[in-house]
Amino acid sequence: MSDASTFEPKIVAYVCNWCTYLGADQAGTNRLEYPSNVRIVRLPCTGRIDFNLIIKALEMGADAVLVSGCHPGDCHYTAGNYHARRRWILFRSLLETMGIDLERIHFAWISAAEAKKFQQTITEITEKTRQMGPYEGYRRVCEAGV
């Protein structure tokens, strides 16, 4: 395992175009500093996320993944975030069955007005992932043929 002081985790954030992405943009506009090792992927809505994207991110070397969208009741598409939450509950059990470390996958509600919350969430995920070290679990799952 890599030294926690030198390891810089790769984090992929799948975010809603209408809320979390605008919160991230606002964080930048307000010059709030957060780790630069996060790659943001903007989606029309978290309700439309294909959870295979999470698997793909891990396959491509991500050490952690964040899925973030509008707060329940505030979805631009009315109920997209409720769909995402229901699908997330089912997907978690699938990941667990596959042997994927659920501590590496994060789900958060962040609105367009919550730049500070975006900054804090990204910083916390980065620090936690840095302490855990590089994620080798996906490779091991593939080798096991799960």
Alpha-carbon separation of residue 100 from 12, 46, 54, 77, 94 (angstroms): 16, 21, 11, 31, 9
Report the C-alpha gap between 110 and 94 in whole angstroms: 25
Please give the pLDDT value at position 6: 86
Question: Residue 100: which domain range?
Answer: 11-144
The neighbour count for residue 72, using CB atoms within 10 Å, is 12
| The overall pTM is greater than 0.85 | yes
CATH number of the domain at 56, please. 3.40.50
pLDDT digits (tens, 9 = 90+) for 48-90: 888 899 999 999 999 999 999 999 999 999 999 899 989 889 8
6 within a domain of the structure (yes/no): no
Tally of structural domains, the chain = 1
